[in-house]
A and B are shown apart, each in its own frame.
Chain A
Amino acid sequence: MTSIAKPVVAHPRLKTNALGLTLRDYEGGMSTLCAGCGHDSVTAAIVQATWELGIEPHRAAKMSGIGCSSKTTAYFLKQSHGFNSVHGRMPSVSSGAAAANRGLSVIGISGDGDSLSIGLGQLSHAIRRNVNMIYILENNGVYGLTKGQFSASADIGSKLKKGEVNEQPPIDPVLLALSVGATFVGRSFSGDKRQLVPIIKAAISHRGLALVDVISPCVTFNNHEGSTKSYKYTRDHDVEAVEADYIPVCEPIEITGLSNGSSNGNGHATNGHADGRPANGDGDLRVVQLHDGGTVRLRSTDPSYDPTDRANAYQHISGCQSRGEIATGLLFVDESSRSMHDVLKTTSTPLVDLGHEDLCPGSAALEKLMGRFC
């Protein structure tokens, strides 16, 4: 079987972005994932977010490892270079690409199998290194391509299709990321484009590694009663913290408060500031209609929730976890973070664009240096 190219049909009335490109220009090949796969919704959100941000497609680099999630880099941004590497090693390949060419917008896609078992070390160290990239972790609690084994994010008590029950504790990528110094942590649900698109946009605009954990149900192997990564479970237990507002490229991220359903004129739900709202524990429960017709119950967080406070974020997320709820939204951001390039003090010209004369000290310098070895 070969890959399937999507027919390109340019409808004359399609909206264009600042670059004059349509959404279709940000799409990729036809998905070969199962119908209803959460990952396809994430792909759609990436297409939407990159189009809205006006990312130049050739300036993006799509990086992935191995697994269902890692296949999705072929389904968006067909005009971008892509790299489907080896299992669990996307973070290191991305580190190298980002180091070599800081002009690239590095978009890493991984899954819970790829990132939380074989790739746990690479994920952790890419976070520590604060690589200039967005890292989307499509999290379904199961190994799909090998037909349905538990992954390391499967919850205790979660059941496989054949009835096997997981008894090992899960690794929560969001808590892990916070504990190893992540500078941007968000979580969303593949079925919640309204929340996911702004988070991805904010993440792409972040200076440093932005981890976005997306609960993305596996319709074939993990979307049944007993699975804690199913559409139903997620919708019933999703707890939103803070949304990201629309973030223009290269401008600082502004954190706003809770959603009250108003619009910012860009066609997205936006956030009213939380100022003045009473602190009332975990706030109100609200039911939101999603784009696919489903509903999700969202509990607003305490209005005092401060996504710039790491300890507070940790407490909120683990608090939700202990109640069987999933904290979503933009959970933590450190605006003062120093990215890999800041730390390395890399020249503003991408290393790949430096000429040999910039790099080679020449014969006279070598001759002089030889004095040291006599």
Chain B
Amino acid sequence: MNGVNDFAFKIGTVNGTGSASANGLLMRSIFRMGIPVTGKNLFPSNIQGLPTWYEIRVNADGHLARAAEIDMAVALNPATYAKDVAEIRPDGYLLYDSSWPLPQALNREDITILGVPFGRLCVEAFTGDRERTLLRNIVYTGALAALIGIDMEVIDSLLNETFGKKPKLLDANHKAIRIGYDAAVELLDCPLPFRLEPMDATSDSILIDGNTAAALGALYAGATVGAWYPITPSTSLMEAFTAFCHKYRVDEETGERKFAILQAEDELAAAGITIGAGWAGARAFTNTSGPGISLMQEFLGLAYYADIPSVFFNIQRCGPSTGMPTRTQQPDILSMAYASHGDTKHPILFPADPGEAFEMAVQAFDLADQLQTPIFVASDLDIGMNDWMVKRLTWDDSYTPNRGKVLTAEDLEKIERFSRYRDVDGDGVAARTLPGVGGKGAYFVRGSGHDQHADYTEDSAAYCELVDRLRRKFSHAATLVPEPLVLTQEGAEIGLVTIGGCDLAVREAQALLREQGILVDVMRIKAFPFQEEVKEFIESHETSYVIEQNRDGQLRSLLMIELGIPKDSMIPILDYGGMPLTARVVVEAVAGAPAGVPA
């Protein structure tokens, strides 16, 4: 497992002590050395004082799902020593702060224990509690640089970029990095057997989190109205959108802004603002997480029934209720698919990484306008808040927003009567008008029964005509949403079906299983409604596993309901403890279970 450019380590600290910037520095340094890397921030729902961890995985082959094994723990929080030590693989390493003795009870004979007196070094070199606490993070970063072979020039240049405008801070950081590096070289046998060697595998890539990428997608798609209520882990999406709008959408001369971002009183209002703006003709969105999705149910039904374009980013987290707000999951698949009372169905896009979060954000706005309905973008905490290595985002300047069927004043002059909900084209999508168009374009939108002219009705036939049109529209949506990604191997009889952020772990599992002589095909579903080829993939494999991150197998249920696939032909692999999926979970489930027998 361990070796050059193939290992994982985990740093345990206390939240609120400034370790986040040090961890980012570590990861970015490795990335700048051209080596594929990923970081998972495992943080508490708390501001200061509770344990927090950061896992960094390095993998030359680009397997960047969460690592199944920890080669080294960097234990800096005495409160979690026991847990940190226990997680180290046999023959692994523990790096701890030897300013204080490590409790004997924590000794493990099968690991190598490395001590550097980070605390004492900081006391000697710096003054003041705050400075000592903050710089301890940089000191351990320096020690790690010596242990795993990070290029100090890369670290120095990153520090210069970060603190260039603050000379005092810059000097202190340079000093701290050197103290840690020198101490490790002096006290320990550097470098370790697993270490870094420069590569050239990251030059076309970036490190970005999915919320930032989705915000960029919204910006580039031309979204002008954003409504939200703060909720982890979706908050940073609107914060990023706000920052980008201030950078790119403010008139330099007048200070006028080409956007309106409204922090609402709750998620109900955020949904209402989004729908009101969508109806008025803006590209509008809201971002939320599970509890917000619950609160938005009524409005989602209105937007579905009244054909109103709107985009809902759901950065999923562990439910139910408040659940574990800083842990990842895919628990809202069913509550998005059928959100609201009455017969409702909503298209959902499932990005697998920040790169797709960017692309699908743009697609979502086009789909919302084309289909005149709410579109979900179902990300999760791992995609949304962690830095992933993905290909550089690019933009095609020939893109023009697909605004769907919108009648202008000129269009209206040519027709006898405007009927808001008349399906002229047979695709279930009727042309709309925007408020302000004038002429005969006015109509009355309502959540109560309405006929094709948008007039109130309690007539059975008129009601059925309308809801049947919405069903046609949903079928039409299947032709517009992205198709699944299928990775086949000659001779494979097992199919792995998965979704969203499970992608990397499942692909890695495909490679690991192949090493064991087990050939599997992979299909990652990118959207709901499902296309026929989703069904064909499952039917064409003797055994299919459905891999997802929730307790009840919601994707599998949706496949059964929507495609009529028999329950027993899909074996669930469920990982719902709140951590990003590892390939090991998939490998053990597939290799450990006799084919055809449910796990």
Interface residues in chain A, defined as those with a beta carbon under 8 Å from any beta carbon in chain B: 1-3, 56-59, 61-63, 73-74, 78-86, 89, 91-101, 103-104, 121-122, 124-125, 129, 344-348, 351-352, 354, 356, 358-363, 365-367, 369-370, 373-374
Instruction: Tell yes or no: B208 within 8 A of A by CB.
Output: yes
Please indicate which of the listed interface residues B227, B401, B442 has the most CB atoms of chain A within 10 Å of its own CB.
Answer: B442
Point out the residue from B254, B257, B282, B397 that lies within 8 Å of A101, measured CB to CB. Answer: B282
The verdict on A84 contacting B448 (CB below 8 Å), with A2-B457, A373-B208 known, is yes
In the bound complex, how far is the Cα of B260 from the Cα of A129, in angstroms? 12
Extra 19 A-B pairs, beta carbons < 8 Å, given A58-B438, A351-B259, A367-B394: A2-B451, A56-B438, A83-B276, A85-B447, A86-B302, A86-B447, A92-B273, A92-B276, A93-B279, A95-B227, A96-B275, A100-B280, A346-B257, A347-B256, A348-B256, A351-B225, A360-B221, A361-B219, A362-B395
B residues less than 8 Å from A92 (CB atoms)? 227, 264, 268-273, 276
Point out the residue from A56, A81, A91, A346 that lies within 8 Å of B443, measured CB to CB. Answer: A81
Q: Is the CB of B395 within 8 A of A363?
A: yes
B residues less than 8 Å from A363 (CB atoms)? 394-397
B residues less than 8 Å from A129 (CB atoms)? 262
A residues less than 8 Å from B455 (CB atoms)? 2-3
The verdict on A97 contacting B276 (CB below 8 Å), with A92-B269, A345-B255, A354-B258 known, is yes
Q: Is the CB of A347 within 8 A of B251?
A: yes
In the bound complex, how far is the Cα of B207 from the Cα of A189, in angstroms? 62
In the bound complex, how far is the Cα of B282 from the Cα of A351, in angstroms? 7
CB proximity of B462 to chain A, nearest CB, Å: 8
Instruction: Tell yes or no: B434 within 8 A of A by CB.
Output: yes
In the bound complex, how far is the Cα of B274 from the Cα of A347, in angstroms? 19
Q: Is the CB of B225 within 8 A of A96?
A: yes
Point out the residue from A78, A97, A124, A351 that lies within 8 Å of B258, measured CB to CB. Answer: A351
Interface residues in chain B, defined as those with a beta carbon under 8 Å from any beta carbon in chain A: 31-32, 206-208, 216, 219-222, 224-225, 227, 248-249, 251, 254-262, 264-266, 268-282, 284, 298-299, 302, 392-397, 399-401, 433-439, 441-448, 451, 455-459
9 A-B residue pairings within 8 Å (CB atoms):
A2-B459, A82-B444, A83-B445, A84-B444, A84-B445, A85-B272, A346-B257, A359-B249, A373-B207
By beta carbon, the residue of chain A nearest B397 is A363
By beta carbon, the residue of chain A nearest B272 is A92
The verdict on A366 contacting B216 (CB below 8 Å), with A81-B435, A95-B273 known, is yes
B residues less than 8 Å from A61 (CB atoms)? 280, 435
In the bound complex, how far is the Cα of B459 from the Cα of A124, in angstroms? 37
By beta carbon, the residue of chain B nearest A102 is B260
A residues less than 8 Å from B400 (CB atoms)? 356
A residues less than 8 Å from B445 (CB atoms)? 81-84
Q: Is the CB of A361 within 8 A of B435?
A: no
By beta carbon, the residue of chain A nearest B437 is A58
A residues less than 8 Å from B266 (CB atoms)? 121
Q: Is the CB of A347 within 8 A of B258?
A: yes
Q: Is the CB of A96 within 8 A of B227?
A: yes
Q: Is the CB of A122 within 8 A of B442?
A: no
CB proximity of B299 to chain A, nearest CB, Å: 6
CB proximity of A369 to chain B, nearest CB, Å: 8
Q: Is the CB of B269 within 8 A of A122?
A: yes
In the bound complex, how far is the Cα of B264 from the Cα of A144, in angstroms? 30
In the bound complex, how far is the Cα of B200 from the Cα of A167, in angstroms? 77
Point out the residue from A79, A94, A121, A347 that lies within 8 Å of B265, measured CB to CB. Answer: A121
A residues less than 8 Å from B262 (CB atoms)? 95-96, 99, 129, 344
Q: Is the CB of B435 within 8 A of A346?
A: no
In the bound complex, how far is the Cα of B257 from the Cα of A92, in angstroms? 21
Point out the residue from B255, B261, B299, B456 that lies within 8 Å of A74, measured CB to CB. Answer: B456
CB proximity of A283 to chain B, nearest CB, Å: 39
A residues less than 8 Å from B255 (CB atoms)? 345
Q: Is the CB of A374 within 8 A of B257?
A: no
In the bound complex, how far is the Cα of B219 from the Cα of A95, in angstroms? 21
By beta carbon, the residue of chain B nearest A103 is B436
In the bound complex, how far is the Cα of B265 from the Cα of A125, in angstroms? 7
Point out the residue from B248, B257, B272 that lies within 8 Å of A347, measured CB to CB. Answer: B257
The verdict on A101 contacting B260 (CB below 8 Å), with A83-B276, A121-B265 known, is no
Q: Is the CB of A365 within 8 A of B248?
A: yes
Q: Is the CB of B394 within 8 A of A93?
A: no
Q: Is the CB of A125 within 8 A of B264?
A: yes
B residues less than 8 Å from A345 (CB atoms)? 255-257
By beta carbon, the residue of chain A nearest B286 is A96
In the bound complex, how far is the Cα of B219 from the Cα of A358, in angstroms? 11
In the bound complex, how far is the Cα of B116 from the Cα of A154, in angstroms? 72
In the bound complex, how far is the Cα of B400 from the Cα of A122, in angstroms? 36
In the bound complex, how far is the Cα of B206 from the Cα of A121, in angstroms? 43
Q: Is the CB of B456 within 8 A of A360?
A: no
In the bound complex, how far is the Cα of B226 from the Cα of A359, in angstroms? 14
Q: Is the CB of A95 within 8 A of B393?
A: no
The verdict on A74 contacting B265 (CB below 8 Å), with A97-B280, A360-B220 known, is no
Q: Is the CB of A100 within 8 A of B225?
A: yes
Please indicate which of the listed interface residues A82, A86, A121, A124 has the most CB atoms of chain B within 10 Å of its own CB.
Answer: A86
B residues less than 8 Å from A58 (CB atoms)? 435-439, 441-442
CB proximity of B20 to chain A, nearest CB, Å: 16
